Amino acid sequence: KKNKISERHRHRWEVNPDYIEKLKKSGLIFSGVSPDRRLMEITELSKSVHPFFLGAQFHPELQSSPIDSHPLFFEFMKTAIKK
């Protein structure tokens, strides 16, 4: 695990702060946040709930090529192959 990851992204959407605690209590894990900790950038569900559930505000496709995929895509494919 890394403490800090920098990814290319551009978006106009965000998680409404009024719902963050309720979403956490429902099982969502906010595993990536902005440096000021105000924006939820990456969300996941536990592997006990779903084998691969990850939502990201960044664009991993912009840092991928057919022979050098982004780690997110690589892990998704590994999980899919196991199933």
DSSP code per residue over 15-28: --GGGHHHHHHTT-
- Give the residue with greater pLDDT, 48 vs 2: 48
Mean pLDDT throughout 52-69? 90
Mean pLDDT of 12-16: 87
pLDDT number for residue 20: 96
- The residue behind tokens 């192959």 is 81
The whole-number average pLDDT for the span 10-14 is 78
Question: Cα(6)–Cα(31) distance, rounded to whole angstroms?
Answer: 14
Inform me whether the pLDDT recorded for 1 exceeds 70.
no
Q: Rounded to two decimals, what is the model's pTM?
A: 0.78
Q: What is the mean pLDDT of the chain?
A: 89
CA 52/CA 47 separation, integer angstroms: 7
Entry field: residues in the chain: 83
| pLDDT given at position 43 | 95
- Let me know: does 46 contact 27? Beta carbons within 8 Å: yes
